[in-house]
Amino acid sequence: MAKTNTTELLEALASEIGENVYIDIAKWHLYLADAKLHNVVAEQLYPLITSKAVNEDRVLEILASIPVKIGGGRRELSLIDLLPLQCQVSLVDILEKYQREI
């Protein structure tokens, strides 16, 4: 990977998250890139990578703090409530891969 530019690394991370992690609504999979959430998630999780502090509990805590508006903004749910367990695991795996490679 050898990405030294922070912006380039953040964009690559956001892209990978957007293509591999989805929210599940009534068995419909909406990938984070399509939901326009991949950049927010990458920006929130990036400090864990740079501080070498990626762990599942911290990732889940951050996901719980990201609000997602539903129903035209009438309600908000935390992102963690919309991600299936498989996607949570995939997200941690992606972050650990980036942490190893920087």
Give the dihedral of Cα atoms 6, 16, 80, 30; nearest 10 deg: 140
Q: Model-level pTM?
A: 0.92
Task: Provide the residue range defining the domain that includes 57.
Answer: 6-101
How many folded domains does the chain comprise? 1
pLDDT, tens digit (0-9, with 9 covering 90-100), for 33-62:
999 999 999 999 999 999 999 999 999 999
> Side chain identity at 64, as an amino acid letter?
A
Query: In the predicted model, is pLDDT for residue 101 greater than 60?
Result: yes
Q: State the amino acid at position 16 in one-letter form.
A: E
Domain annotation covers residue 1: no
